[in-house]
Amino acid sequence: MAAFAAVVLALGWLGIGFLHAAYLKYAALDSPAYAMFLLRRGWLWCHLAGGGLGIALGLVQLLTQRWPRLWRVHRVSGRVYFAAMLVAMVGAVGLIATSPAPTGIRVAFSSTLLAWLVTGGAGLVAILRRNVAAHRRWMLGAYLVTLAPAVFRLSLAGVVAQGVAPSPDLIAWMLWGSWAVPLLLYALWLKLVGAARRGSWAEGAALRHDRA
């Protein structure tokens, strides 16, 4: 339980920090941040609205999944979360299709979209089949992908702080890593937890056998 609380706090800090930064960046319509989106603001707003709501509701999903009294809230917010992320992806498709960025960067952005479709889709299929354990695993993975822009922002800030001017190739690699690295670490953590549980079960079975 303590580990779960620590994970939720860390993801909450990451998501809320990113939403705050995005608000400060795009709140004013005359912000310099809109320069590259002058003719694409509709797609940008679509992406920001869906993604912002997805980040907030993803955290609600994590907080309500373990308490039976909140399962109704969990189901309703889950549906809205999926809808919001689909809106975000529509905006992302529009931005990618109209982007003047190099192909490597556009492919990297597309990989994030595909990663969410795979993890979120698997989570949806799992709950439709009433496999709650698999649903929780997949949806935490989907939320890690949802937070990929926040991870990318921190990575980019770290690179710039080191005095490195990020090249298009480096930006593309950081975009890939912003979702692939968290998912890889999550998969490793699941394997370690599974191995520990199997070891505990085997030890308990051996003790029961000895006592018998």
pLDDT digits (tens, 9 = 90+) for 47-101: 999 999 999 999 999 888 888 888 899 999 999 999 999 999 999 999 999 998 9
Write the CB contacts of 152 (distance below 8 Å, at least 6 apart in sequence): 174, 175, 178
| Spatial distance between the Cα atoms of 172 and 111, rounded to a whole number of angstroms | 10
Q: Pick the more confident residue, 203 or 65.
A: 65
Q: Pick the more confident residue, 26 or 120.
A: 120
Q: Mean pLDDT, to the nearest integer, of 164-185?
A: 94
pTM of the predicted structure, to 2 decimals: 0.86
Q: What is the reported pLDDT for 202?
A: 54
